[in-house]
Amino acid sequence: MINRRTLAKSLGAAMVVPAVFSVPAAAEDTRRGRYLIRDGAVVTVDRALGVLPRADVLIDDGEIIGVGRDLGARGTRVVDATGMIVLPGFVNTHHHMWSALGRNFVADGFPYFAAKRATSTLYEAEDVRRSVLLGLAELANAGVTTVHNWSNNTRSPAHADAELRAHRDGLLRARFSYGHVDQMPRDVPMDLTDVDRVRQQYFAGGTAFGGLVHLGVCLRGLSQSTEPAFLADMEAVVARGLPVAIHAGQAPPRTVDAADYERRGWLGPKTLLCHYVTALDSDMEIMARTGTPLSWSPHSEFRLGTAGDPRDALLRFRRAGVPVSLSSDATSIAPSDMFEAMRLVWNTGIPWSGTPSAGLPEVGFRDVLEMATLNGARALGLGDVTGSITVGKRADVILVRANDVNLAPGGLFETTLVQAATAANVDTVFSDGRIIKRGGRLVAYDVERIVGDARASSLRIRTAAGGILTPPS
């Protein structure tokens, strides 16, 4: 263990930041600075650098400017990472954040879609602001530094503004994908007029909120709209040149025909398909050839997928060379916890006798780490910005305590992260060079107020829904 007093003296102007902090109830100052993360085991997810058993990461004004041993520390705040694993922040590529406060609306005999139908029309603008902010705090707590906010219940311009205000205050990197109004008629195309307004008002420079948030659109797809309506939606998005995300289907019939999409010019890196358990091998080959990424929500694929075994589909996607990222879908299906998502994919990512996956390579620890970080960044068009600890990228970095009782006595670092780590082991989170969690506590959010506000909105919605959602007296 480094003697912090001796280290501070030897570093001159450097200041050592201990692993445990005294944290106030309200949010702390979150300005960027110059930091040296010192003496951690660095899992870079950069294939040129690999895993560094002991190394430093130097951050200046939100940028990673050095990775290696014994980096200079003058003028920095030193974060002692002894006994910790340092890795890039996770990237969640599909998360319906408007419904985060509805995570516990489901019940036996009252599953996800029934709960959504009973409540989605009841969310007011302030409810979605509170929900997105709750979701952002939960993500940060679990080491997620980038999220794709799949906003598929954007009920009005006020709702869109409310979600964007949450992103302004939430301090995480994100894509805000403006979507339809939940339960709108299947034969009515989306009205993208307000997308244009949001683009001009918030994203005229390309990004918003200091470069942290960019704009996209999420569409219903043929599972929730007629073919003419979906064609109109796609044509409107393509004409605007915005990234598009589509639910590709977890249940029969197959609603995405990749060959048709390719003929129409819809596939490529700016189109993100989610789920797609129904994909044929030919669909997967086309996605790989066109560089079309897949967002895979492992808990959701197992819970809601009725198109066959998700393990089989995932291994075939990998065989085809489709870039796969991980996501959580909705919080009433799975927690916003990439450790749990990685562990589920690793544990189920094995060949299955008697299926087309038989004989295919199993999913390894490094594979799922890449899915949860770099592949996710690439899926959102951010591969040059985040997803790995690489000089020149933004400082989205997390520190995991390897000496906690559930991770001790240590071993291979990638194995430890996937096989045993949880959100409770996340000690420190940097988002774009700002410390938003440290000493195991969120310091950039007023957690008590976020939780209280979410509870109030949840109670109001449950009461308005009545019936099974009525809270006990």
Q: Give me the residue spans of the domains in the chain.
A: 4-89+393-442, 90-379
pLDDT of residue 30: 74
The count of other CB atoms within 10 Å of the CB of residue 448 is: 10
Residue 99 DSSP one-character state = G
Task: Give per-residue burial for 105-122: e unless 16+ CB within 10 Å, then b.
Answer: bbeeeeebeebbebbbeb
Please give the C-alpha separations between residue 307 and each of 113, 263, 284, in angstroms, as whole numbers.
17, 25, 15
Angle between helices 157-170 and 193-202 (to 10 degrees): 30
pLDDT of residue 330: 86
Q: What are phi and psi of 323, to 5 degrees?
A: -70, 115
Rg, Å, the chain Cα set: 22
Residue 100 DSSP one-character state = G
pLDDT of residue 15: 35
Q: What is the pLDDT along the chain (473 residues), one digit of tens a residue?
A: 223 232 233 223 333 333 333 333 344 567 899 999 999 999 999 999 999 999 999 999 999 999 999 998 789 999 999 999 999 999 999 999 999 999 889 888 888 888 889 999 999 999 999 999 999 999 999 999 999 999 999 999 999 999 999 999 999 999 999 999 999 999 999 999 999 999 999 999 999 999 999 999 999 988 889 999 999 999 999 999 999 999 998 888 888 999 999 999 999 999 999 999 999 999 999 999 999 999 999 999 998 888 778 989 999 999 999 999 999 998 878 888 999 999 999 999 999 888 888 899 999 999 999 999 999 999 999 999 999 999 999 999 999 999 999 999 988 999 999 999 999 999 999 999 999 999 999 999 999 999 999 999 999 999 999 855 654 54
pLDDT of residue 353: 87
Structural class in CATH, domain 4-89+393-442 = mainly beta
Provide the token pair at 456: 């109030």
Residue 128 DSSP one-character state = H
Give yes or no for a contact between 80 and 39, defined as CB atoms under 8 angstroms apart: yes
Q: Which of 11, 12, 61 lies closest to 38 in space, CA to CA?
A: 11
pLDDT of residue 467: 59
Give yes or no for a contact between 461 and 118, defined as CB atoms under 8 angstroms apart: no
pLDDT of residue 332: 79
Give yes or no for a contact between 372 and 341, defined as CB atoms under 8 angstroms apart: yes
User: Element (H or E) spanning 435, and its range?
Assistant: strand 434-438
How many whole angstroms separate alpha carbon 30 and alpha carbon 336? 23
For 11-154, where are the E strands, in sequence order? Answer: 15-17, 34-43, 51-60, 63-68, 77-80, 84-88, 90-95, 144-151
CA angle 50, 342, 450 (to 5 degrees): 110
pLDDT of residue 304: 84
The count of other CB atoms within 10 Å of the CB of residue 330 is: 26
CATH number for the domain formed by residue range(s) 90-379: 3.20.20.140
The answer, as to whether pTM is greater than 0.85, is yes
pLDDT of residue 28: 55
Q: How many CA atoms lie within 13 A of 226 on its CB side?
A: 8
Cα-Cα-Cα-Cα dihedral of 154, 159, 165, 166, to 10°?
Answer: -60
